[in-house]
Structure 1
Amino acid sequence: MTDTQAPKKPATPRTDIAPSDGETGRVLQVERRDFTQLVPEGRKRVQSMRGFDECYTDIVDYIIRCTHRIWDERDVGLIYSHYTHNCVAYTTMGTMYDRETHIRDTIQRLVEFPDRRGMAQQVIWNGDDVNGFYTSHMTHGLGRHTEPGSWGKPTGRTYCTRTVADCMILENKIYKEWIVRDNMGPLIQVGLDPHVFAQGIAQKKFDLGETVLDLTENRRLLGQYPPESEADLSIAHNAGEEQLLEWLHHIYNKRMFGKIHEIYAPNCQWHGPLMRELYGVASVLHQTMRLVALLPDCSFVPQHIASVDSEEGGTKYAVRWVMDGHHLGYGSLGAPTGHHLFVMGVTHFHVKDGKIVDEWVVYDELSMLVQLKLAAIQAAA
């Protein structure tokens, strides 16, 4: 399985289930389950899981249970049996290239935020145990800043943030991961100045030799031609995924923002960075244009899409994407600087009766701010 594409026809059912006894023979879903139902004891294996530990009954059970064991039960050493030695993790603040870095990073976070809890909200997945699974796992992280560490002197304040971890998994081991965490939200919640914090990170990156590569062409436009009229659908696995990719292409690359009025339900909800919770089509329209306005020459490139039929009705989709452009517009990052910006994000959609009723989008404004600070330091040097 490649980075962007899972098998066209998964070997096992992707639809989900019912009662809490876990004996229906279908893969778990998260939304209407208490934690004890998501990691049940004595549940029979309901999915082919070649090479996985016996305690895991399906791929959703695997990603939720092993995350809980590592982060909440503090069995950090399980990373050795659940990650390959050369696992690459792409995050909004940098890339980790080996398993030991994962372990060090996990220990540091657990010490700085000792009462943190990560609560699963959704797992959208595809694949099988032959070609590999792909999971998109969204969590809400709650905790308090009670120990000194990368955030400086503890403030004692509470925070809540949203994270999506996309994982590629084969035979019990994660071998590639994309972690998109809203770092700006909790930073503001505990009372730290994002500009000061971002400046410190940028200076450290510069001192270590990291630079910003400013590419002037992102291929959204080919010369003076308009954007491609149709979306690239090569990563889709079914007609529903193809339609969603078409919608996103029209909105983000063709700038046809009026499409939002056609495809979102009047009573839709939008859940975004900084834990914003908004309602209605007008809110979705404004927040979508708000992001594009920051880098108005950007291209929007979906890198992976997965979907599961939802027991709540309709279908849930997970899209991992990147945006590439320049800081040419006003917004939350301040006056335009012209510096290059790269945004990595994940969006979960719930589509019912042909309309989007829920959107959860995660990207990191702190990462964008660090990029601008680093570019300024580089230019000054």
Structure 2
Amino acid sequence: MTSTHPGLRPYGFEGPVDYIERITYLIWNRPNRDLELIRRHYSPSTAIHLDAGDLVGDEIVIANTTARLQSYPDFHGVIDDTIWTGSEEEGYRTSMRWTWTGTDTGGTVYGPATGRPVTSTAIANCVVKGETIVEEWLGVNPLALARQLGYPPADAVRATDYPATPRVARPSFEFTRTAEGDLVQRAFAAALEGRAEMGLFASECATAFAPDIQVDGVAALLDWADGLRAALGPLAIEVDDQYSMPASEAMPVRVATQWRITGTGPRGPVEFSLLSHHHLGEGRITAQWLAYDELALAHHGIASPHHPKA
């Protein structure tokens, strides 16, 4: 049931970080794993937008969560960061990055149980009204899981269904630009276009391209971007949403961005989403995490961009 008050405090939460992190842990992690909370915090009309297609409604969220936990019974997630914007009067938008681990003892869509351990990182951008997530954009990388389980891309493609022409929904709201966000847009978009402004990146900027591929140095980002352009030609880059948080004693400036990238692959036009978290220090990007669906590209006949090796 959708909450009627836009804020979180009437429902017993201190704010957006307490809300999104507390319910995530209670739903997913042992010993008090409680999937019934999904019905409380998602509505029958909640849409979760992915390149693999939309998931709509709390019951589908429960079914997908159940399937994941059957594949990885020892599933355990750790939230790395939550960036947010909003207010008690208007509601909130949160961008939560988390890493989960598990062992494939139950089998997956790719095949029977392998007994292999996996690590996955996701970024979930949620629109929260009251204690209900009313809309969500999810950045995940199923192909990274397939890699860790020992399946080649062709097997992962055969085992999954994706829309022939995926189009991730655009937000119905506008975002407020910030100086920090503008710096990230300028730096990251330029890198994707092959014209990186080196002064906007720290020399040892760390980039997590996928949960199993993390490399230091700006050259790694440029190498990855070269691979994207080789596969898709000139890229059109848009920002669907973005917000930032100032530095604190514990954390640097952080920026959450929701990108829309289009190009042309061997089978025609391609559009995919990419969610990112960036850390800034002294006016430069010092670290970045990218969440995008390599399997969506594989379904278009596009090999994963060349991944630089550490």
Q: TM-score, normalised by structure 2?
A: 0.86
Q: Is the contact made by 1:92 and 1:181 (CA closer than 8 Å) also made in structure 2?
A: no
Q: State percent identity of aligned pairs.
A: 23
- SS of residue matched to 2:36: helix
Question: Partner of 1:302 in structure 2?
Answer: 239
The more displaced of 137-146 and 279-288 is 279-288
Deviations 1:199-230 (A, max 9, x none): 2324xx6xxxx54379xxxxxxxxxxxxxxxx
Partner of 1:62: 19
1:301 Cα offset (Å)? 1.0
- Name the structure 2 match of 1:269: 206
Which has the larger strand fraction?
2
**Equivalent residue, structure 1, for 2:140:** 181
Q: Which amino acid aligns with 2:239?
A: P
Aligned match of 1:347 = 276
CA contact (8 A) 1:129 1:170 kept: no
Measured in 1, the distance between the counterparts of 2:10 and 2:144 equals: 38
Shift of 1:120: 0.6
Q: SS where residue 267 of structure 1 aligns?
A: strand
Amino acid at match of 1:212: T
2:165 is aligned with 1:212: yes
Q: Is structure 2 residue 296 aligned with structure 1 residue 356?
A: no
Which of 255, 263, 266 is residue 325 of structure 1 equivalent to? Answer: 263
Question: What SS does structure 1 have at the residue aligned with 2:175?
Answer: coil
Partner residue in 1 for 2:3:
none
Q: Which of 60, 80, 86 pairs up with 1:121?
A: 80
Q: Who is 1:143 aligned against? A: 102
Q: Does 1:92 align with 2:51?
A: yes
Are residue 244 (structure 1) and residue 173 (structure 2) matched?
no
For 2:288 and 2:204, locate their aligned partners in 1 and report how far apart those are by CA, in whole Å: 12
Aligned Cα root-mean-square deviation (Å): 2.1
Over 3 Å counting, the alpha-carbon distance change for 1:277 and 1:211 in structure 2 is: closer
Q: TM-score, normalised by structure 1?
A: 0.70
Which residue among 94, 107, 128 is the counterpart of 1:169?
A: 128
Following superposition, the deviation at residue 297 of structure 1 comes to: 2.8
The Cα shift of 1:184 comes to 1.1
Q: Given residue 148 of structure 1, which amino acid in structure 2 is its aligned partner?
A: G
Based on CA coordinates, which of the two structures has the bigger radius of gyration? Answer: 1
Q: 2:194, 2:225 within 8 Å by CA — same for their partners in 1? A: no
Structure 2 CA distance for aligned equivalents of residues 326 and 297 of structure 1: 8
Q: Deviations over 1:297-316 (max 9, x none)?
A: 32111111011123345410
Distance 1:240 1:365 in 2: 28
SS in 1 for 2:300: helix
| Structure 2 residue 159 is matched with structure 1 residue 200 | yes
Residue identity opposite 1:63 in structure 2: I
Shift of 1:149: 4.0
Once superposed, which parts of structure 1, at least 4 consecutive aligned residues long, lie more than 6 Å away?
none
**Which consecutive unaligned segments of at least 5 residues does structure 1 have?**
1-47, 215-233, 328-336, 374-381
CA–CA distance in structure 2, aligned partners of residues 293 and 178 of structure 1: 27
Contact 1:313–1:352, Cα closer than 8 Å, also in 2: no
Q: Is 2:299 the partner of 1:370?
A: yes
Distance change (3 Å), C-alpha of 1:237 and 1:211: closer
Deviation readout 1:128-165 (Å, 9 max, x if unpaired): 12211011100111111101342321000011111111
Give the total of aligned pairs: 287
C-alpha distance in structure 1 between counterparts of 2:127 and 2:299, whole Å: 28
Alpha-carbon distance between aligned partners in 2 of 1:279 and 1:102, rounded to the nearest angstrom: 35
Hey, what's the Cα distance between the residues in 2 that align with 1:114 and 1:275? 21
**Contiguous gaps of at least 5 residues in structure 2:** 1-6, 168-173, 303-310
